Amino acid sequence: QVQLVESGGGLVQTGGSLRLSCAASARTFSSYTMGWFRRAPGKDREFVGGISRSGDRTSYADSVKGRFTISRDNAKNTVYLQMNSLKLEDTAVYYCAASTLLTPSPALYRYWGQGTQVTVSS
């Protein structure tokens, strides 16, 4: 069982930045690929990006490429989502999730956090 807890969400103006953190309970954190997803009001859950077990590979949705960066610190059992140049359409609840694959498919992520709200205002 892996418990994931996101933090760092909040209210930010367009063009601003936020860094989300996701802390994992498992000692086996480094054996999981980690993904970030988001769900905006009235929309389906969307893949934001993911990072491999060692952190040497990342994958991003086109909508965030060049603005968001995922990193991880396996010594701290934590994965991060640095969000820059935020846009109104980035407003959503953001979730981290753990998988054995680096994949955009939410169905392949076994463990999920509770989510953290990010609101971008003009």
- CA 80 to the chain's CA centroid: 7
Q: What is the predicted pLDDT for the residue at 6?
A: 98
Residues 102 and 51: their CA atoms lie apart, in Å, by: 7
pLDDT over threshold 90, residue 26: no
Average pLDDT for residues 87-109, to the nearest whole number?
A: 97
* Chain length of the chain: 122
Closest Cα to residue 93, out of 112, 76, 108, 111? 112
Coil/strand/helix, residue 108: helix
Q: What is the predicted pLDDT for the residue at 89?
A: 96
The answer to whether the beta carbons of residues 80 and 58 sit under 8 Å apart is no
Q: What is the predicted pLDDT for the residue at 86?
A: 98
pLDDT, the chain, mean:
97
Rounded to the nearest 5°, which phi and psi values hold at 92?
180, 170
Tell me how many degrees the CA angle 85-32-2 measures, rounded to the nearest 5: 100
